[in-house]
A = this chain, B = another copy of it.
Amino acid sequence: MPEVSIVLVEPLYEGNVGFTARVMKNFGFTRLVLVNPCKLGDDAIMRASHARDVLDNARRMTTVAEVYREFDFVVATTGEVSKSVCTPMRMPYYSPAEVREIVADIDGTVAILFGRENWGLANEELKRANLICTIPTSDVYPILNLSHAVGILCYELANLPRGEYPIAGPVQMDALYEHIDAFLDRIDHPDFKRENTMILIRRLIGRTKLTIREASTLHGLMRRTEWQMENREQTSYKGEI
């Protein structure tokens, strides 16, 4: 994965800068670049919360030209609104998920540019971008808060491994379906319904991505039921003898 920096161009509100630092750190990003930002005070620090280090270590630049000089690959973000004023300047544009696919293969440094809260990025600032990214939004109210836009890009780019829990494999699933089929025999489930019922059960359990623990609980419940039936039968036979 390439080294990704988040670049805020002339942010106007320090609270947004703080929230940006926080949401970056939430997704494992620590490189923040501030181009000619507003003054940062208590509000930025408060909203950065435990990402104070990201805020403190933010690099300062004075123009967007510096960003283009330094980074190997620059993605510029634009809102749905500015996209609609579209010249080739802001076209074609990619969704965050598409940007992720493209950026994943890059061997170099990547900067994601976010414009000012009120009017975004100027054409001059967009011109040299390798890629234009637009987060798909509602026509009714397309203007995202700056830190929410950063959060969505970071979420997509994070590619963080998801926690693992063991899913039941084919051997375990086959054993479970065999047990269920045997159980249906045990309760005299009619043959003419059997195939459809087994298909319904396979569809139903199949889409759960059953965990190993859950599979074993299902076996356990069937065994307990079988034992109850068995036990009662034996009592019954004893009574008859």
A interface with B by C-beta (< 8 Å)? 19, 22-23, 25-28, 47, 49-51, 80, 83, 88, 91-93, 95, 134-138, 140-145, 147-148, 151-152, 155, 158-163, 165, 184, 186-189, 197, 200-201, 203-205, 207-211, 213-214, 217, 221, 224-225, 228-229, 232-233, 235-240
CA distance A161 to B195 in the complex (A): 31
Cβ 8 A contact of A23, one of B144, B186, B235: B144
Supposing A51-B141, A187-B225, A228-B229 touch, asked if A204 and B200 sit within 8 A by C-beta, the answer is no
Q: List 23 A-B contacts (CB under 8 A).
A: A19-B145, A22-B141, A23-B144, A25-B141, A26-B142, A27-B138, A28-B138, A47-B145, A88-B213, A92-B209, A92-B211, A95-B162, A147-B148, A184-B221, A200-B213, A204-B208, A208-B208, A229-B232, A232-B232, A232-B236, A233-B236, A236-B239, A237-B239
The answer to whether B189 touches A224 (Cβ under 8 A) is: yes
Interface of A is mostly: helix
CB of A81 to closest CB in B, whole Å: 12
**Residues on B with beta carbons closer than 8 Å to the beta carbon of A22:** 141, 145, 148
Most chain-B Cβ atoms within 10 A of its Cβ — which of A26, A237, A238? Answer: A26
CA distance A204 to B212 in the complex (A): 12
